[in-house]
Structure 1
Amino acid sequence: MRFFTVLAFTVAALALPVTFGAVTLNASFEDRYTPRSDGITPRPAHRPHDPVKPTAVVVVGNEGAVVSDALAPYEVLAASGAFNVYTVAPEVRPVTLTGGLDLIPDLGFADLDRLLSSAAPDVVVVPALPDLGEPTTRPVTDWLKRQSARGSLLMSVCNGSGVLATAGLLDGRKATAHWIRIDGFDDEFPAVDWIRGTRYVDDGNILTTAGILSGIDGALRLTERFAGTETARKAAEAVGWAHYSPGSSPPMTQNTFEAADTVVGFNTAFRWDKPRLEVLLTTGIRELELAAVFDTYGQSLAVETRAVGLDGTPIRSRHGLTFAPRGTPTTELDRLIVPGTDAAASHAADRYSGLAPVYLHSVPGFPFDAVLEDLVRTTDSATTRWTARTLEYRTDHLALDGEAWPWTVTLRPFGLAALGLLAAFGIRAVSRRFAGQGPSPVRRGSGDSH
Structure 2
Amino acid sequence: MNRASLIRRIAAGLGLLAAALALPAAVLGVGAVGFERYRYAPPEQPHSVAADPPAHIAGRPTAVVVIGNGGANAADVLAPYEVLAATGAFNLYLVAPERRPVTLLGGLDVLPDLGFAELAERLGGAAPDVTVVPEMPNDRSTDVPVVDWLRDTASRGLVLGVCSGARLVADAGLLTGREATSHWYRLNEIAPGHPEVNWRRGIRYVDTGDVITTGGLLSSVDGALRVVERLVSESAAADAARAVHWPYYSPGGAAEIPISEITWPERLLHLVNLGYRSQTTTVGVMITEGVGELELAAAFGPYAEVRSARTLAIGPDTVRTKHGLTVLPRAGLDQVGSTGLVLVPGGRPSAELETAAGTAGVPVRSLPGDGRFVFDPALETLAATSDVPTARWAAKIFEYAPADLQLSGPAFPWSGVLPPLVLAAAGLLASAGGFVLLRRRRAR
Q: Same fold (TM over 0.5)?
A: yes
What is the CA–CA distance in structure 1 between the aligned matches of 2:278 and 2:73, rounded to whole Å? 23
The answer to whether 1:304 aligns with 2:327 is no
Contact 2:96 2:114 in 1 (8 A): yes
**How far is 1:223 from its partner?**
0.5
Tell me the SS of whatever aligns to 1:86: strand
Report what 2:331 is aligned to. 327
For the pair shown, which has the larger CA radius of gyration, 1 or 2? 1
The answer to whether 1:377 aligns with 2:380 is no
Contact 1:344 1:362 in 2 (8 A): no
The answer to whether 1:239 aligns with 2:239 is no
**How far is 1:217 from its partner?**
0.3
Report what 1:337 is aligned to. 343
Could you tell me which of 19, 33, 43 is aligned with 1:36?
Answer: 43
AA matched with 2:331: G
Contact 2:396 2:402 in 1 (8 A): no
The answer to whether 1:283 aligns with 2:289 is yes
Deviates more, 1:349-358 or 1:206-215: 349-358
Contact 1:44 1:105 in 2 (8 A): no
Report what 2:393 is aligned to. 386
TM-score by length of 1: 0.91
Report what 2:255 is aligned to. 250
AA matched with 2:192: D
The answer to whether 1:403 aligns with 2:410 is yes
Q: Aligned ranges for residues 91-102 of structure 1 at < 5 Å?
A: 91-102=98-109
Deviates more, 1:258-267 or 1:91-100: 258-267
Could you tell me which of 362, 365, 379 is aligned with 1:358?
Answer: 365
Q: Percent identity?
A: 42
What is the CA–CA distance in structure 2 between the aligned matches of 1:84 and 1:50, rounded to whole Å? 7
Deviates more, 1:250-259 or 1:135-144: 250-259
Could you tell me which of 177, 186, 190 is aligned with 1:181?
Answer: 186
Tell me the SS of whatever aligns to 2:163: coil
Tell me the SS of whatever aligns to 1:344: coil
Could you tell me which of 259, 263, 267 is aligned with 2:269?
Answer: 263
**How far is 1:43 from its partner?**
2.2
Could you tell me which of 107, 114, 119 is aligned with 1:107?
Answer: 114
Contact 1:88 1:106 in 2 (8 A): yes
What is the CA–CA distance in structure 2 between the aligned matches of 1:325 and 1:189, rounded to whole Å? 38
Q: Are residues 74 and 353 of structure 1, via their aligned partners in 2, closer, same or farther at CA, if it must alter by over 3 Å?
A: same
What is the CA–CA distance in structure 1 between the aligned matches of 2:232 and 2:94, rounded to whole Å? 21
**How far is 1:265 from its partner?**
1.8
Tell me the SS of whatever aligns to 2:132: strand
Tell me the SS of whatever aligns to 1:77: helix
Q: Are residues 195 and 88 of structure 1, via their aligned partners in 2, closer, same or farther at CA, if it must alter by over 3 Å?
A: same
What is the CA–CA distance in structure 1 between the aligned matches of 2:426 and 2:442, rounded to whole Å? 24
The answer to whether 1:22 aligns with 2:26 is no
Contact 1:133 1:166 in 2 (8 A): no
User: What are structure 2's unaligned runs of at least 5 residues?
Assistant: 1-6
Report what 2:321 is aligned to. 317
**How far is 1:327 from its partner?**
2.0
Deviations 1:202-228 (A, max 9, x none): 011110000000101000000010111
Tell me the SS of whatever aligns to 1:26: helix
AA matched with 1:326: R
What is the CA–CA distance in structure 1 between the aligned matches of 2:154 and 2:128, rounded to whole Å? 10
AA matched with 1:287: E
What is the CA–CA distance in structure 1 between the aligned matches of 2:345 and 2:402, rounded to whole Å? 20
What is the CA–CA distance in structure 2 between the aligned matches of 1:124 and 1:236, rounded to whole Å? 20
Contact 1:292 1:368 in 2 (8 A): yes
Could you tell me which of 142, 149, 157 is aligned with 1:143?
Answer: 149
TM-score by length of 2: 0.92
**When the two structures are aligned, how many residues end up with a matched partner?**
431
**How far is 1:6 from its partner?**
4.0
Report what 1:120 is aligned to. 127
Q: Are residues 383 and 77 of structure 1, via their aligned partners in 2, closer, same or farther at CA, if it must alter by over 3 Å?
A: same
What is the CA–CA distance in structure 1 between the aligned matches of 2:325 and 2:52, rounded to whole Å? 7
**How far is 1:356 from its partner?**
4.9
What is the CA–CA distance in structure 1 between the aligned matches of 2:388 and 2:235, rounded to whole Å? 38
User: What are structure 1's unaligned runs of at least 5 residues?
Assistant: 438-450
Deviates more, 1:121-130 or 1:17-26: 17-26
Contact 2:278 2:307 in 1 (8 A): no
Could you tell me which of 172, 175, 178 is aligned with 1:167?
Answer: 172
Q: Are residues 336 and 184 of structure 1, via their aligned partners in 2, closer, same or farther at CA, if it must alter by over 3 Å?
A: closer
What is the CA–CA distance in structure 2 between the aligned matches of 1:258 and 1:428, rounded to whole Å? 38
Report what 2:4 is aligned to. none
**How far is 1:95 from its partner?**
1.1
What is the CA–CA distance in structure 1 between the aligned matches of 2:391 and 2:324, rounded to whole Å? 31
Report what 1:157 is aligned to. 162
Q: Aligned ranges for residues 55-74 of structure 1 at < 5 Å?
A: 55-74=62-81
Q: Are residues 113 and 349 of structure 1, via their aligned partners in 2, closer, same or farther at CA, if it must alter by over 3 Å?
A: same
Tell me the SS of whatever aligns to 2:280: coil
Could you tell me which of 49, 71, 84 is aligned with 1:77?
Answer: 84
Contact 2:312 2:331 in 1 (8 A): no
Report what 1:210 is aligned to. 215
**How far is 1:258 from its partner?**
2.4
**How far is 1:47 from its partner?**
1.5
What is the CA–CA distance in structure 2 between the aligned matches of 1:362 and 1:244, rounded to whole Å? 19
Report what 1:432 is aligned to. 439
**How far is 1:51 from its partner?**
2.0
What is the CA–CA distance in structure 2 between the aligned matches of 1:403 and 1:18, rounded to whole Å? 25
Contact 2:47 2:328 in 1 (8 A): no
What is the CA–CA distance in structure 1 between the aligned matches of 2:369 and 2:63, rounded to whole Å? 32
What is the root-mean-square deviation in Å for CA atoms of aligned residues? 1.9
AA matched with 1:373: E
